[in-house]
Chains A and B, each alone.
Chain A
């Protein structure tokens, strides 16, 4: 199946700094990618839809100035957590669908962000 690679898998940063997470589709092009957040022992919450070449679409309640999304190419989307605070600590997961081959979304391995 299609492969989505996410990097880094773990990151620890200090409060007030920014962290960038990359999501790549390795063997297909993705005009749309999705970013999710998962709190411990909870389900995935969709944060935003990343659109290649245009602005991301954010879900209600998600601060677009805090979670900057850039989708500059058909294989790469980035999520930048700006001015991180401890409450931003979470598991972030991206996904993409190979529109040419199927209906299922493929997920990256996730990024564990810890803000200290």
Chain B
């Protein structure tokens, strides 16, 4: 079946530190990969996406590269800010008739000044 595994937090970093959140997936077919972010008390926002192997998604300084050979989609940011504190979800969808999104468990990030 389809599943997503990601490093579980909480992760605490100092401002301007480098961030990596690992994500690996298992999928039948050829999935699209996503990172969603959830700020406290809010819904989910799409952070970035990649739809085929070697694609790099990027947004707001965050990047992730679709690695088919390692079935990974690790999230990185070179210099985190306090405002990046949130929960980050790695996710995938496979183009079946329902386009369900399968989420990883989420990684809580806290950035301290």
> Contact residues of B with A, CB < 8 Å?
32, 34, 36, 41-46, 49, 51, 89, 93, 95, 98-106, 108
What would 10 A/B residue contacts be, using CB atoms closer than 8 Å?
A43-B103, A43-B106, A44-B103, A49-B100, A93-B44, A104-B46, A105-B101, A107-B44, A107-B45, A109-B43
From A32, A43, A104, A110, contact of B43 by CB (8 A): A110
Given contacts A32-B98, A43-B89, A103-B32, contact A108 B43 (CB under 8 A): yes
Q: Dominant SS at the B interface?
A: strand
Q: Is the CB of A46 within 8 A of B100?
A: yes
5 more contacts with CB within 8 A, not counting A34-B101, A41-B108, are A6-B43, A43-B89, A43-B106, A44-B89, A103-B95
A interface residues, how many (CB within 8 angstroms): 23
**Quick check: is A61 within 8 A (CB to CB) of the other chain?**
no
From A6, A42, A103, A109, contact of B106 by CB (8 A): A42
Residue in B closest to A110 when the chains form the complex, CB atoms = B43
- Taken residue by residue from 40 to 68, chain A's Cβ proximity to chain B (1 for < 8 Å, 0 otherwise) reads as 01111010010000000100000000000
Q: Is the CB of A103 within 8 A of B49?
A: yes
A108–B36 CA distance with the chains assembled, in angstroms? 13
A112–B36 CA distance with the chains assembled, in angstroms? 19
Q: Which residues of B contact A110 (CB under 8 A)?
A: 42-44
Q: Is the CB of B100 within 8 A of A1?
A: no
Q: Is the CB of B99 within 8 A of A97?
A: yes
A97–B100 CA distance with the chains assembled, in angstroms? 10
Residue in A closest to B98 when the chains form the complex, CB atoms = A49
From A93, A103, A108, contact of B51 by CB (8 A): A103
Q: Which residues of A contact B49 (CB under 8 A)?
A: 103-104
